Amino acid sequence: MTYSEWFYAHGEKHKKIMDRLEHLSDTEVVHYFRFENMVEKEPDFCPLYKENKKCHDLRGLNCYLCACPNFRFKDKGYHVREGRTLFSACSIKSKEGGQFITDDAIHQDCSKCSVPHGETYVKTIFDRDWFEMMENVT
């Protein structure tokens, strides 16, 4: 599965949940997407939920912005420099981000970044339409 395929499949899962949460306020929706609640109520949203495992070891981990809106990617790559294809990058150049560099590729490394998982940030860019939210963040 390419990143694009995963991204669109994930967005569809998000939409199905949101269709069931129309009765909740925006704040209640954000709270619904807290890791502990999602593990209990939406076990199929993330493969890690079955192991009760977090993608990032953070207190207050929120899953609303999974597939961070600042993550930029192209399955075929942006450009090639010094023999390496750049496949992904961070649009805000988060200090918590890094890069995986191999002999022929560069990928964005978000494993230490907490930016999209904090509720303050989620509320800042919140949109009930996940695809629109992902597209609108610059």
Q: Which residues bind ligand SF4 (CB under 6 A)?
A: 68, 70-71, 90, 92, 94, 96-97, 108, 110, 113, 115-116
* Spatial separation of the C-alpha atoms in residues 27 and 31, rounded to whole Å: 6
How is residue 122 written in tokens? 């989620």
Measured from the CB of residue 20, what is the shortest distance to ligand SF4 in angstroms? 27
Q: Kindly tell me which of 24 and 114 has the beta carbon lying closer to ligand SF4.
A: 114
> In a 3-state reduction of DSSP, which class is residue 35?
helix
Least gap, CB of 22 to ligand SF4 (angstroms): 28
Distance CA 54, CA 75 (A): 26
* 46, 60, 86 from 131: Cα distances, Å: 18, 24, 24
Nearer Cβ to ligand SF4, position 16 or 112?
112
For ligand SF4, the closer CB: 30 or 115: 115
**Least distance CB 127 / ligand SF4 (angstroms):** 16
CB of 112 to ligand SF4, least distance (A): 8
**Which residue's CB is nearer to ligand SF4, number 62 or number 94?**
94
Residue at shortest CB range from ligand SF4 = 97
Collect contacts of 6-14 with beta carbons under 8 A, ≥24 apart.
6/67, 7/67, 7/73, 10/66, 10/67, 11/67, 11/130, 11/131, 11/134, 13/44, 13/45, 14/45, 14/130
- CB nearer to ligand SF4: pick between 39 and 108: 108
